[in-house]
Structures are given as C-alpha cells and as structure tokens.
C-alpha cells in the first residue's frame, strides 16, 4: 500500500496530525517539524471510527485503571507488551468483542463473561461457539455493565439484567468496552460538512462527495464499523472517482443530491446522498434490532421507488440492497426514505 502511494507520486507525512480543515479547503498540520498549512484542490477525509469509550457510555462509578476499549487493549498487548490484569469482563458481543476476548486470552487474562444489552450475540456463529466452548466464556445477554468500581484499579463491576432489573456484583480487575462505533468526524464537522444523524459521519454520495465542494470522505468515517476490506475498497473507489473529476476539471462544481433517511428499526444507510445520474451498485444498511425476513421500501414524497427483500438482519452487521432505484429519484424532490414494511 505504501509503495502504491509513493509510486504514484504521493508524499507521505508521518507523525503528522491534521488539526483543522477550513471550509475554504485550507488544511492545518502539526508535526515534529512544526506547524504547516496546505491548500490542496481536494481533501479526502478518511479518519476512521472509534469504539465508544466508557465515558460516552455514561457508566457511573469510580475512575480506576483497568478500563480499555479493544483498540487500546490490542495496542497495550501487541504493540507495547504491557501486562493487562487477571480477570476481565467484555462489554459487547459483536465481531470486535470476540477479538478482544482472544487478545485477553493471549495476554493470560481470564474473561469471566461477555455481556450484551441485546438478546443475542451479533457475530458469526463459529466465533460465538469457539468463545463459548473452546475459551469457556459465558455470554450474558440482555445485560449491561451498570457501574465500574475500584480505587486506583478496577475491583468489580455491577451488572444489570435488563429483563428482571436485578443487579449483581462481579469481581474483576479489567473491563473492555467493545464496538458501538462512532465516526471520527470532528475534522469534517468543523470544516462545515453536513453530518448524518444516523451514521454520525459525513453525508456523502457513492463517490465520497460531502456537502462541501473540495472535501470528500471515505472509509469508516462514513460507514462506521465495517471491515478493513470494505473500507479499503470504498477508499479506492472514491480516490478513482476523485482522480477522474480532477482530470475532467469539473471538480469545483457542486454536485448536489438527495438525502437518504431511514426509519427505525433501520439504524443507517450509506451512501446517504444519491443522484439519479450516479447509480450505486449497493446501498449498505444496518438495523438496531434483530429482524426476520422483511422488505425494505424505498420512497420519495409518497412515491415508491423500489422494494427489496432482506435476509435476517442482525444489529452491528451490514446488509445491502441493490441501488437500481436511484435512477428513479427525483433530484428536485424531498429526501428518500427507507423503511421496513
């Protein structure tokens, strides 16, 4: 990847943080060499997504050491080779949560339970079986970490059973909060880019164009919680489209588009801006709840643009529907709505 970038003439600036993108396109940087500013013709924001940390989950209690996200845990164990603890609780039961359990095992930590507020795990059956029967980790469903206790170091967590309301205390010295992805959208937001309240990332069309001319976005900042492969393929598609537009010289013209909105239990859809002259192959979708086989209806101002049958949906995992209906979108009409019927 690095070779591909440098061979194409890109200059890589390592140890460099972008501190701001002005709506006019000026990019501010800070690095060991000091402060700098760039004035590129285009900015592609690909800042990724982070797992929601404990503070943002509003979990009361003390503020001891021993609280991780999966990302922090994996850096701690695999990059810095630091000791973690002895007994852990993992909150979350999506793909990355099982990855956290494996990292804990590699670090010699016993995972006493995985807990999820949802009624089932949200990963592949094989991962869940391996975790239950090979690693001996119980999965507590409809359960959440209600408080973290400990002076200096985590000593216990309080678990709340969301069905019965009962609480119990479990002695652990480590808690890992996993998943619940939040796009790292701060740079894009401060640049004046329109943010989708559903994904919490920049709204873009399939070519990555945001609401601000000259600023594009791709990867997990626009579709939080997708795999690395999806982010890489999406990034390549956006970069190719950007290169074509720069060559054609029409990059500086606003492209417009119609917003795509979802109705619960759909959680989000992406691309979240569409234009009839730019039909995407697929639209990614997520749901908040487990749903059986349902139909997604795509509507604009009361007109049905298309319907698609979905397979069973699992929260925290994507489904997709074909994008053919985008050709029938009225560019002058209101937002497109997606709902389950």
Position among 156, 204, 211, 220 found at the interface with ligand FAD (CB under 6 A): 220
What is the three-class DSSP state of 157? strand
> Judging by DSSP bridges, how do beta strands 303-309 and 295-300 pair with one another?
antiparallel
99 in contact with ligand FAD (CB under 6 A): yes
Instruction: Extract the tokens encoding 154.
Output: 């985590």
Instruction: Extract the tokens encoding 151.
Output: 């002076």
* Calpha distance 210→187 (Å, rounded): 13
Nearest CB to ligand FAD, comparing residues 49 and 310: 49
Q: What is the CA radius of gyration of the chain?
A: 22
Position among 35, 58, 79, 228 found at the interface with ligand FAD (CB under 6 A): 228
Contact between 300 and 322 (Cβ < 8 Å)? no
Q: Which of 153, 156, 102 is nearest to 128 (CA)?
A: 102
For residue 165, the minimal CB distance to ligand FAD (Å) is: 32
Position among 6, 24, 163, 227 found at the interface with ligand FAD (CB under 6 A): 227
Position among 187, 273, 284, 298 found at the interface with ligand FAD (CB under 6 A): 187
Position among 21, 46, 113, 217 found at the interface with ligand FAD (CB under 6 A): 46
Taking CB under 6 A as the binding criterion, the range among 122-130, 167-175, 204-212, 225-233 that sits at the site for ligand FAD is 225-233
CB-based burial, 132-157: b 16+ in 10 Å, e otherwise: eeeeebebbbebbbbebbbeeebbbb
Between residue 250 and residue 309, which ones bind ligand FAD under the rule CB under 6 A?
Answer: none
Quickly count: other Cβ atoms within 10 Å of residue 325's Cβ.
21
Nearest CB to ligand FAD, comparing residues 71 and 214: 71
- Give me the phi and psi of 95, to 5 degrees please: -50, -50
Nearest CB to ligand FAD, comparing residues 227 and 307: 227
Taking CB under 6 A as the binding criterion, the range among 40-48, 56-64, 153-161, 284-292 that sits at the site for ligand FAD is 40-48
Position among 226, 261, 310, 316 found at the interface with ligand FAD (CB under 6 A): 226
| Residues that bind ligand FAD in the complex, under the rule CB under 6 A | 17-18, 46-48, 70-71, 74, 96, 99, 184, 187, 219-220, 226-229, 231
């Amino acid at each position: 990847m690095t070779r591909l970038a440098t061979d194409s003439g890109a200059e890589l600036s390592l140890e460099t943080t972008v501190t701001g993108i002005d709506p006019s396109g000026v990019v501010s940087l800070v690095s060991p060499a000091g402060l700098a500013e760039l004035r590129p013709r285009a900015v592609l924001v690909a800042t990724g997504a982070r797992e929601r940390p404990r503070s943002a989950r509003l979990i009361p209690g003390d503020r001891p050491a021993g609280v991780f996200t999966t990302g922090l845990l994996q850096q701690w164990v695999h990059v810095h080779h630091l000791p973690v603890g002895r007994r852990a609780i993992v909150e979350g039961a999506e793909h990355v949560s099982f990855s956290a359990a494996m990292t804990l095992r590699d670090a010699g930590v016993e995972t006493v339970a995985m807990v999820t507020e949802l009624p089932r795990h949200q990963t592949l059956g094989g991962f869940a079986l391996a975790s239950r029967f090979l690693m001996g980790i119980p999965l507590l469903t409809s359960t959440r970490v209600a408080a973290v206790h400990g002076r200096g170091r985590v000593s216990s967590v309080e678990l709340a059973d969301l069905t019965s309301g009962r609480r119990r205390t479990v002695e652990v010295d480590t808690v890992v909060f996993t998943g619940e992805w939040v796009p790292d959208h701060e740079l894009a937001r401060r640049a004046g880019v329109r943010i989708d309240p559903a994904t919490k990332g920049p709204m873009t069309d399939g070519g990555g164009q945001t609401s601000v001319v000259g600023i594009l976005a791709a990867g997990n900042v626009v579709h939080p919680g997708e795999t690395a492969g999806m982010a890489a393929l999406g990034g390549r598609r956006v970069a190719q489209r950007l290169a074509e537009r720069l060559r054609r010289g029409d990059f500086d013209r606003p492209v417009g588009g119609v917003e795509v909105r979802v109705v619960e239990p759909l959680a989000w859809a992406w691309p979240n801006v569409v234009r009839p002259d730019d039909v995407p192959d697929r639209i990614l979708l997520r749901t908040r709840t487990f749903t059986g086989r349902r139909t997604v209806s795509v509507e604009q101002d009361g007109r049905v643009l298309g319907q698609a049958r979905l397979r069973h949906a699992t929260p925290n995992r994507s489904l997709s529907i074909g994008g053919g209906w985008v050709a029938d979108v009225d560019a002058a009409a209101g937002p497109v709505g997606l709902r389950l019927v």
